[in-house]
């Protein structure tokens, strides 16, 4: 088959590399336009573009498919199938219908559980015990198409967003290869819309810790938002990034957000229900450190009795 691949971040690049290494005929790659990154704001190619160029695959980077030229360019490729993974663009019906076999998506959730942009992190936040990969036939809805294949994995109570991302990226690569090898054995399954939740895109603003929540809710967010956007609190205008923490059942009469204990084990903060033990943190302009290293450093911040905003 003549296959077009559409994707942008590392998650998608893993599947593209697997398809190339397995010998599939990738005739073109679609990815987001180069974006400014780093202190110099230099335009940087996406991980998918880098992978494509390394294998001399033609790359297309339209802003969208509203222009007739972009749709015509796609049609002229005369592809049999388009494989999509975290592309970042909504594909209109005309695009979905262009490849002979349509478009299929590699989605990082057991649909219909989490539809949308951030299914990996939302699954951790919600306390889900499992997630996985769904290969689905794309339609005009947001992750609403028929499910073709599912692979499951457990979500441990210590896994971070970054760790689960990497596990699912590898699983997605294996799943798409399995789909292409066994398409006749897979029976499409309709999604139950009543079971769907929307996985909102992550934002830096929501990473600001709300201490009125339970310690378990905050701990899950800390794990989900590592390595981005990273949960944080503030004290006297200084931002403290919280990279690792543990929810405890301990309760005190202290107001929410107050530091009730500081030791080599961590910084204990009162929450709406229970307390959160911060075990790894990072101050502005400093490296991430363990609670023990922070304690030994003797910095005059995060003292018992002070309050985190």
Under CATH, what is the fold of the domain 206-297? 3.10.25
Architecture per CATH, domain 2-199, reads as: 3-Layer(aba) Sandwich (3.40)
* pLDDT higher than threshold 80 for residue 144: yes
What residue spans in the chain does CATH classification 3.40.50.170 cover? 2-199
* Rounded average pLDDT over 15-22: 98
Lookup: tokens for 112: 């219909």
Asked whether the predicted pLDDT for residue 298 surpasses 80, the reply is no
For the stretch 176-218, pLDDT in tens is 999 999 877 789 999 999 999 999 999 999 999 999 999 999 9
Give the C-alpha separation, 225 to 177, whole Å: 30
Is the full-model pTM beyond 0.85? Answer: yes
Task: Output the average pLDDT for the chain.
Answer: 95
Q: Where does the chain hold its CATH 3.10.25.10 domain(s)? A: 206-297
DSSP codes of every residue in the chain: -EEEEEE-SHHHHHHHHHHHHTT-EEEEEE-PPPEEETTTTEEE--HHHHHHHHTT--EE--S-S-SHHHHHHHHHT--SEEEEES--SPPPHHHHTSSTT-EEEEESSSTTSEEES-HHHHHHHTT-SEEEEEEEE--SSSS-SPEEEEEEEE--SS--HHHHHHHHHHHHHHHHHHHHHSGGG---B---GGG-EEEPPP-SGGGB--TTSBHHHHHHHHHHTTTTT-EEEEETTEEEEEEEEEEE----SSPTTBEEEEETTEEEEE-SBSEEEEEEEEETTS--EEHHHHHHHT-S-S-TT-B--
Please tell me the predicted confidence (pLDDT) of residue 196.
98
Q: What is the mean pLDDT of residues 255-267?
A: 95
pLDDT digits (tens, 9 = 90+) for 64-92: 999 999 999 999 999 999 999 999 999 99
């Amino acid at each position: 088959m003549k296959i077009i691949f559409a994707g942008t971040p590392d998650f998608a690049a893993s599947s593209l590399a697997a398809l190339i290494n397995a010998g599939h005929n990738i005739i073109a790659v679609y990815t987001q336009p180069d974006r400014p990154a780093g202190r110099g704001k230099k335009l940087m190619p996406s991980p998918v573009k880098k992978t494509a160029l390394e294998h001399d695959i033609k790359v297309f980077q339209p802003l969208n498919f509203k222009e007739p030229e972009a749709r015509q360019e796609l049609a002229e490729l005369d592809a049999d199938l388009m494989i999509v993974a975290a592309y970042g663009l909504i594909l209109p019906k005309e695009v979905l219908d262009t490849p002979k076999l349509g478009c299929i998506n590699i989605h990082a959730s057991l649909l219909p559980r989490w539809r949308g942009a951030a299914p990996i992190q939302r699954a951790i936040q919600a306390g889900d015990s499992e997630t996985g990969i769904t290969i689905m036939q794309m339609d005009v809805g947001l992750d609403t198409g028929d499910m073709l294949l599912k692979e499951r994995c457990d979500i441990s109570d210590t896994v971070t967003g970054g760790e689960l991302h990497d596990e699912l990226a590898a699983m997605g690569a294996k799943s798409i290869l399995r789909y292409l090898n066994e398409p006749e054995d897979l029976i499409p399954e309709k999604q139950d819309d009543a079971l769907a939740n929307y996985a909102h895109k992550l934002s830096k603003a929501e990473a600001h810790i709300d201490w009125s929540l339970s310690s378990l809710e905050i701990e899950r967010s800390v794990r989900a938002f590592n390595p981005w956007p990273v949960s944080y609190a503030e004290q006297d205008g200084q931002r403290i990034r919280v990279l690792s923490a543990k929810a405890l059942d301990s309760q005190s009469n202290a107001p929410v957000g107050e530091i009730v204990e500081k030791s080599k084990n961590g910084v204990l903060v009162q929450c709406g229900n229970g307390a959160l033990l911060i075990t790894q943190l990072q101050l502005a302009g400093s490296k991430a450190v363990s609670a023990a290293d922070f304690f030994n450093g003797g910095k005059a911040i995060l003292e018992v009795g002070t309050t985190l905003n």
